[in-house]
């Protein structure tokens, strides 16, 4: 069974681990978010892609969910002491990857080719595709003005309420080679338990991707990033409020209903099942908290049933 996963950061990466465990790495294509990419100190940083990469390579910091376990911050310490921008954490091993990626991008290689090569060298068996090789950046409109995504998320700790999101570079950002085909050819398309507004929407905003997913709606399953009113990680709860959606798995299911024919939600949220079914979406209840490998595996199995 071939699976294509649309994924953002930590939740998506952890779900991908379970998926690989169930169907094998060779059967999985991950289409990753690049809307949170950022240029820092001249480096091209791809936080969501790297979270997937580090997670699948088995080197991710286990508690943080991002960054390399045991990484040091010597370079960033010097940057700070010399008056450079050190508000975004870059580990030394991180920087090694960023240096290689940035140099290759500057020479004109597409991001998808660089990431494929890096993933292979790190022993990642699944295919990890950026949604686009073109420049696409999530911009956050707040009462303090429009901010770059990382400027809002890290720089402002996601505090200013989000009034609107836009994806600079869209329309016009073309899907990276293989993206549309991976969606069209998969036996199952999975929307990972990632924030729909800042992880999935920037993927779906790439030319042709939303239509490609919609065309597969019967085989598309979304996995709830919320348990009850709370996101396992990240600012989704507050964003649902701020953007006028119900702060519950039902709110997310309603938002994703045009794309996904099935919706996996936590057992604790089974009370929402009937109302989800009323949206024309088949609810699937499972244990949604991915606390260990067994839990990740069971959640992936539930998504694929």
Which residues contact a second copy by CB under 8 A?
41-43, 71-72, 74-79, 81-84, 91-93, 95-97, 99-100, 102-103, 106, 117-118, 121-122
What's the per-residue H, E or C state across 212-279? HHHCCHHHEEEECCEECCEECCCCHHHHHHHCCCCCCHHHHHHHHCCCCCEEEEEHHHHHHHHHHHCC
Nearer Cβ to a second copy (121/135)? 121
Nearer Cβ to a second copy (39/187)? 39
Nearer Cβ to a second copy (128/213)? 128
Kindly state the smallest distance separating residue 126's Cβ from a second copy, in Å: 18
Nearer Cβ to a second copy (91/251)? 91
Nearer Cβ to a second copy (21/117)? 117
Q: Between β-strands 127-130 and 43-45, what pairing exists: parallel, antiparallel or unpaired?
A: unpaired
Kindly state the smallest distance separating residue 124's Cβ from a second copy, in Å: 12
Kindly state the smallest distance separating residue 82's Cβ from a second copy, in Å: 5
Beta-bridge mates of residue 32: 7, 130
Tokens of 21: 């465990």
Kindly state the smallest distance separating residue 99's Cβ from a second copy, in Å: 4
Kindly state the smallest distance separating residue 76's Cβ from a second copy, in Å: 7
Kindly state the smallest distance separating residue 113's Cβ from a second copy, in Å: 12
> Tokens 């600079």 sit at which residue?
168
Distance CA 96, CA 125 (A): 21
Tokens of 105: 């991008």
Nearer Cβ to a second copy (124/198)? 124
Task: Tell me the longest C-alpha to C-alpha distance in the chain.
Answer: 58
Distance CA 101, CA 110 (A): 10
């Amino acid at each position: 069974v071939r699976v294509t996963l649309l994924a953002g950061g930590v939740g998506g990466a952890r779900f991908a681990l379970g998926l690989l465990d169930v169907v094998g790495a060779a059967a999985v294509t991950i289409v990753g978010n690049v809307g949170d990419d950022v240029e820092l100190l001249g480096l091209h940083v791809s936080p969501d892609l790297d979270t997937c990469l580090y997670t699948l390579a088995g080197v991710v910091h286990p508690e943080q969910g991002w960054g390399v376990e045991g990484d040091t911050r010597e370079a960033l310490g010097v940057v700070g002491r010399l008056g450079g921008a050190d508000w975004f954490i870059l580990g030394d091993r991180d920087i090694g990857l960023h240096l290689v990626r940035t140099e290759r991008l500057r020479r004109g290689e597409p991001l998808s080719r660089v990431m494929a090569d890096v993933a292979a060298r790190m022993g990642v068996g699944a295919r990890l595709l950026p949604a686009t090789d073109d420049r696409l950046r999530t911009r956050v409109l707040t009462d303090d003005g429009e901010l770059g995504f990382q400027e809002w998320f890290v720089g402002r700790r996601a505090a200013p309420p989000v009034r609107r999101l836009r994806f600079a570079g869209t329309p016009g950002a073309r899907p990276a080679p293989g993206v549309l085909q991976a969606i069209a050819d998969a036996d199952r398309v999975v929307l990972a338990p990632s924030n729909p507004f800042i992880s999935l929407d920037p993927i779906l905003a790439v030319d042709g991707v939303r239509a490609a997913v919609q065309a597969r709606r019967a085989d598309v399953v979304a996995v709830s990033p919320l348990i009850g009113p709370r996101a396992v990680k990240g600012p989704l709860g507050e964003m649902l409020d701020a953007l006028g959606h119900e702060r519950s798995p039902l709110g997310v299911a309603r938002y994703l209903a045009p794309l996904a024919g099935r919706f996996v939600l936590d057992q604790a949220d089974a009370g929402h099942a009937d109302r989800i079914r009323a949206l024309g979406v088949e609810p699937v209840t499972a244990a949604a908290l991915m606390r260990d490998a067994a839990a990740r595996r069971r959640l992936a199995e539930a998504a694929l049933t």
